[in-house]
Chain A
């Protein structure tokens, strides 16, 4: 085995370096060993990403649960966590749709995560995320529990069969367009909402700089939602699909983040936990994802 051989060689090299008293060689070899460890970890992870659509880019959607500003703030923290995670992984991240809360946070948002295996990793995050903390929005400084639902939708590649959308089944509306429109109004707001009439599924986008681009982005989201619906229909037998936001029941909790009275993040599916919530909220999610993926692989093998 190539890796085994490399491992032995580097260990011999370290021994030699110590005998020869050559610190430069020693540190080089230690570095190489660390490199191998990282490499092996990555290979293991790649083995875990063997699902049909795992290689795809994806949309991540976050929705605040009941509880007003406190849970909307939590929703924006979760969204920020995914943005930072995706950036760490070198993925492209763009906000497609965002509905801000009245006072703080977001009611709902969709980001697009572009890059290899984005869906394969991110699908581990589907479900309800629970936060326990002293709310900064509560003047009485009481402890609050808030919930956020996360959905992940793969963006199918060219090779996959995608749902055919009839132009005549679509209703396209401009929203937040006050007043007369046309020459009377100068706004950079060109958001559109597209409704697929037969299914009632909608998608919207307002973050692009032209209406044309907003429409194209919203169409991409709509296409993926319809693809996902179709996949869900087909996959009902083996229950392998990821759920959409509307399907996720608020009982389906996957992870708890406790900031007070103690500090901990714990995954309820794998029992993996860490005592540093800040690093997790800054996007250090890979260990959670990895442990979930290996657990589900073990389950599949059983």
Chain B
């Protein structure tokens, strides 16, 4: 989760002194103990095959009733996608999902017992939330499959997007060009679930390190949990604070900087797909009037953060925004960076800007 720098710069100065900013976190974090994703919970609940089949049948018909209404309304999920998600919910919730899913449809009277990781009532509730409240599937199961990782996510933390996976590939390319980057210090600012920090840590060498910062205590708790799950405590340091603030002592020491900051223009927030607009943290999405407030701040800060030859990659809202940022760097930061360019995502949108700190 990130904060809009321009809107509350004064409050934020105060927040650097206090451990938790009062302006930045919209709702007080009730518990900083991160939730365990469904698939990691013990299968302590029992039900019968027949009752589980009944739930499955109900869930399927609820998904089918959606048709393409959400798709037409706000580009939300259609029935096909919801049915696929339902399979994944079964995968995460049932101890022996394959046995259950592959059984022929005959056994509606099967009273043998099956172990599940949430009560049957909860499964009814969770699927209702998914379809009727448009709660993101990733919050429903408490995890997001991202690259080859399974990351814990929960309300208050942005769900990492498929597009963002490519930043790790861009870092990998940069490292292959210049092996010195493999053993250096990297920063992931506004880390959210810790996705980029973990993805990058796994391609660094033995002495390579990543510092991941986020202003939100929920995000830092979840990121720390994910770092632990992948045994990366030695390589990834999670720090709470705004953007560059937690890194002040090591300025000029970094060989790399990545970020997926909030970049959606404020006026567009209300029209977002329900899963995003109603459920994901606004502070991780809203990039100010034109969406580039935080990206500009990152470009400015990168100058003093990065060593000569250091690499940066930022995600943007795409095309126009990427162009305007490249223009900003070329005119306002003249001479500070080299090889600045836009990189498209798999949908052909110029999604990223990358470059190197001048030598």
Contact = CB atoms under 8 A, between A and B. Distances in A.
Interface stretch (B160-168, B203-211, B221-229): B160-168
Interface in B246-272: 260, 262-264, 268, 272
Contacts of B75: 178-179, 185
Contacts of A173: 346-348
Given A188-B138, A212-B146, A183 B345 contact: no
A208 B162 CA distance: 12
Contacts of A207: 84
B136 A212 contact: no
Interface string A202-214: 0000011111110
B115 interface: no
A174 interface: yes
Contact of A174 (B147, B158, B316, B346): B346
A210 B260 CA distance: 18
Given A187-B77, A188-B85, A207-B84, A181 B349 contact: yes
A39 interface: no
A172 B166 CA distance: 12
Nearest to A178: B75
Contact of B165 (A83, A179, A208, A211): A211
Interface string B312-327: 0001111000000000
B359 to A, nearest CB: 28
B88 interface: yes
A234 interface: no
B186 interface: no
Interface in B209-251: none
B264 A209 contact: no
Contacts of B146: 210, 212
Contacts of B104: 84, 282
Contacts of A183: 158, 161, 260, 262-264, 276, 284-285, 317
Nearest to A100: B80
Nearest to B143: A209
B351 interface: yes
A184 B276 contact: yes
B40 interface: no
B42 to A, nearest CB: 22
A275 interface: no
A212 B148 contact: yes
Given A181-B347, A185-B276, 16 more contacts: A87-B102, A181-B161, A184-B272, A185-B161, A187-B77, A187-B81, A188-B84, A188-B137, A189-B77, A192-B346, A207-B84, A208-B145, A210-B148, A212-B147, A212-B165, A213-B145
8 contacts: A172-B346, A174-B346, A177-B347, A188-B137, A188-B138, A209-B88, A210-B148, A210-B162
Interface of B: 71, 75, 77, 80-81, 84-85, 88, 102, 104, 136-138, 145-149, 158-159, 161-163, 165, 260, 262-264, 268, 272-273, 275-276, 280, 284-285, 315-318, 345-349, 351
